[in-house]
Structure 1
Amino acid sequence: MRDAQQLQGNILTPKGWIQGTVNFSDRIANIQGAFSDPAKNDLPYILPGFVDLHVHGAGGKDTMEAGDAVQVIARMHAQHGTTSMLATTMTAPVSDLEQALQAISISCKERGKNSARVLGVHLEGPYINPGKLGAQPDFATLATLEQVQHLHAIAPIKLITVAPEMEGHLELVKQLTEMGMQVQIGHTLGTYEEGVAALENGATGFTHLYNAMSRLDHRAPGMVGAALAHAKFSEIIPDLLHVHPGAIKAAMRAIPHLYCVTDSTAASGMPDGQYMLGRQVVHKCLGGVRLEDGTLAGSTLTMDQALRNLVSIGLDLQDASRRVSTYAADYLGLPERGRLQINSYADIVVLDRELNLTAVYVEGEKIDLANA
């Protein structure tokens, strides 16, 4: 149990803004004050810590490196307000995945100092369509239940990306759902009908909506059409490079719990230059990360910038906060994260009136932002 702490400002609770104080140790003890419009004062904003379900890297490190990579990544993202995250893999040979998951499992068991909580694994590949790799290396393969169970035994797979049109994958979607995983549709050339079938078999979301999936056409709605017509949850990358603001707004009108991810790479928080994304070399330049052929390859986004981007395209702060915190926590079934209420984890971010981070708390630990 950590020592009792207190913050004062405009506190965003599930019921709305409260001007007052939040008292906490590792969990929130109470929130005191009165409901108030934050526009009527100049106090800081106190929001739930950010929840990022798609993190490949940061600080020059990639999850597939194994070793201490995930610890470095979790520390860097905590400095930008991410209080919990999923370490995300790349399409790779099983031996590479085993090595990466062994390292991730260590971080899942014990949170490092000044670090975000690693909730588990987002297995993005290798069970994808080789015709829609995007920036994934060419190691796509058909999935088997036995292989997924083997990987899950090494580190907890909370979320898995699957192309449902591949042979045997539709039945696998049902089996993985029964194992307690969230199954997302992604890196897919599937039709609208195949997307609907996957949802009916237990799939619950879509990986980086619009990117690396069959597009919407009015006579062939594709996987994007299946998402817009039927999904309750989907992730999207709001770096304003991967998806046009208008397309983000269209998705928000269609998908009730559209949530944001960074899809961040080793280049996040680093200067322009050359980095690794799994087995592939990527180049950071002009705020983006690309393969040699110009294909977007993840991002340099951090969740505090994602919040600012959402506000910049017209969302109010309360809605933007839900999309970088609450909805992702809800998607994983984590009612004690992604919101500020009594007995929730004290995962808290404090922002000034320009939405710059001034403090971050992970389970009550104040994160050192000196090297942010």
Structure 2
Amino acid sequence: MPHSVTLTNARVVTPDGVHDGWLRVADGRVSELGSGEAPDGPAYDAGGGWVVPGLVDTHVHGGAGHAFPDADPDGVREIVAFNRARGVTSMVGGLVAATPEDTLRQVAALAESCESGELAGLYLEGPFIARSKCGAHDPALLRDPDTAEFDRWLKAGRGHVRMVTVAPELPGATELIRAAVSNGVVAAVGHTEASYEQTRAAFDAGATVATHLYNAMRPLNHRDPGPIAASLEDERVAVELIVDNVHVHPGAAKLVFAAAGAGRVSLVTDAMSATGLGDGEYTLGDLRVRVSGGEARLVDTGAIASSTIVLPQAVRNAVEALGVDVPEAVRSASSVPAAALGLEGAGRIAVGGRADLVVLDADLAVSRVMFHGEWTR
């Protein structure tokens, strides 16, 4: 890899819009954006394709046969390498409900993967969620929010716990949300039976993310709007959406983009270990999962259990199935999730910024990926 390279003939998605021209990378950073004739030196012709920020997945549990709850450093590296080669340059490692002892062990082990630069942080989807909306979490492992347990996570995580999902209706939820926010951790609302009023109260207490909207959540009803309406109307809230054409019908997903508007929809995968491996039987936490036709469901209950897509597929689905324009779909998978979790330097193309870049062809397929100024294999 040359010390510097210019990406030419490119449509560059920046925070301010689409820049047609060229982009120069030097010393691992974007050094210049320009139009017209590109500077002399090593170049890569993007062929008129899109150059977009490295994508940011803030809700993912595994891939390539490995799972973050296993807390195995080699497995983490495999998940990260698998995603990075496909355009996801920043990831937050997602955990599922486990015993207090296992959760502490997982958090402590994965904090090392954050310190080594493999992960951008940690996300705990359980255990403070509703049993009736447990989804693919073991209901026997769910418990009421406990700020003392949360404090133990913070100590074990050494500053790397980024987000926790809480069901607002549970006893102690408001205290947990306030404790999270006061410690710089994003509080998310999800896996919940909460009413509209309870959800609004959670946002007023400081929660700023809705976990995979629609899924494992009290449904929208015109006399009982619940957490879906409360999340869509609140400008303070980033709304996660799994666009794999399994978790959410395209018609319902279109409503999210229409209601939340640009800048608040955060595309996530919720992907599991089976991602990239095809159909078969796998595990999520301690639960058995069967994947058929790319659709993952719990063996025992038939409940949907995570997805098997990588984030660029969600971008393509948003464009092709929902009619979202390319720049908005890209931002929903890069700058929006990065901002929602405060991941500095991720998800944006700007002069002086980190050169994490993805080249997409006319069909939005990934052509090349650059991480910290170096092309990945």
CA RMSD of aligned residues (A): 1.6
> 123, 144, 147: which one pairs with 1:145?
147
Distance 1:42 1:57 in 2: 33
How do 1:52-201 residues align onto structure 2 when only pairs under 5 Å count? 52-67=57-72, 68-111=74-117, 117-138=118-139, 139-155=141-157, 156-201=160-205
Secondary structure of the corresponding residue to residue 90 of structure 2: strand
Whether 1:266 and 2:273 are equivalent positions in the alignment is yes
Distance 1:107 1:27 in 2: 23
Distance 1:281 1:43 in 2: 45
Query: Which 10-residue stretch deviates more, 21-30 or 79-88?
Result: 21-30
- State how many pairs are aligned: 356
Secondary structure of the corresponding residue to residue 119 of structure 1: coil
Query: Deviation digits for residues 339-367 of structure 1, max 9, x if unmatched?
Result: 11112211100011111111111222321
> 26, 40, 49: which one pairs with 1:44?
49
Answer whether contact 1:336 1:343 (CA < 8 A) is retained.
no
Query: Deviation digits for residues 115-167 of structure 1, max 9, x if unmatched?
Result: xx411101100111112101111210122222112112222110110011111
Distance 1:142 1:3 in 2: 53
> 208, 212, 219: which one pairs with 2:212?
208
Whether 1:307 and 2:321 are equivalent positions in the alignment is no
TM-score for both structures, normalised by structure 1? 0.92
User: Could you say which residue in structure 1 is the equivalent of 2:360?
Assistant: 351
Shift of 1:42: 5.4
Secondary structure of the corresponding residue to residue 120 of structure 2: strand
Answer whether contact 1:262 1:301 (CA < 8 A) is retained.
yes
Distance 2:339 2:154 in 1: 22
Query: Deviation digits for residues 10-64 of structure 1, max 9, x if unmatched?
Result: 2122222222221223221111116xxxxxx951211111010001000011111
Answer whether contact 1:267 1:300 (CA < 8 A) is retained.
yes
Secondary structure of the corresponding residue to residue 361 of structure 1: strand
User: Could you say which residue in structure 2 is the equivalent of 1:320?
Assistant: 329
Shift of 1:99: 2.3
Shift of 1:3: 2.5
User: Could you say which residue in structure 1 is the equivalent of 2:342?
Assistant: 333
- Taking only the aligned residue pairs, the percentage that are identical comes to 35
User: Could you say which residue in structure 2 is the equivalent of 1:7?
Assistant: 7
Distance 1:26 1:332 in 2: 23
Secondary structure of the corresponding residue to residue 334 of structure 2: helix
User: Could you say which residue in structure 1 is the equivalent of 2:250?
Assistant: 245
Query: Deviation digits for residues 160-209 of structure 1, max 9, x if unmatched?
Result: 10011111111221121111111000111111110000001001011000
Secondary structure of the corresponding residue to residue 333 of structure 2: helix
Distance 1:360 1:301 in 2: 18
Runs of 4+ in 1 over 4 A off after TM superposition: none
Shift of 1:90: 0.4
Distance 1:335 1:59 in 2: 27
Distance 1:200 1:289 in 2: 35
Distance 1:18 1:70 in 2: 35
Q: Which structure 1 segments of 5+ residues have no match?
A: 35-40, 112-116
User: Could you say which residue in structure 1 is the equivalent of 2:30?
Assistant: 28
Answer whether contact 2:147 2:175 (CA < 8 A) is retained.
no
What code does the residue aligned with 1:262 have? T
TM-score for both structures, normalised by structure 2? 0.91
Distance 1:225 1:12 in 2: 30
User: Could you say which residue in structure 2 is the equivalent of 1:114?
Assistant: none
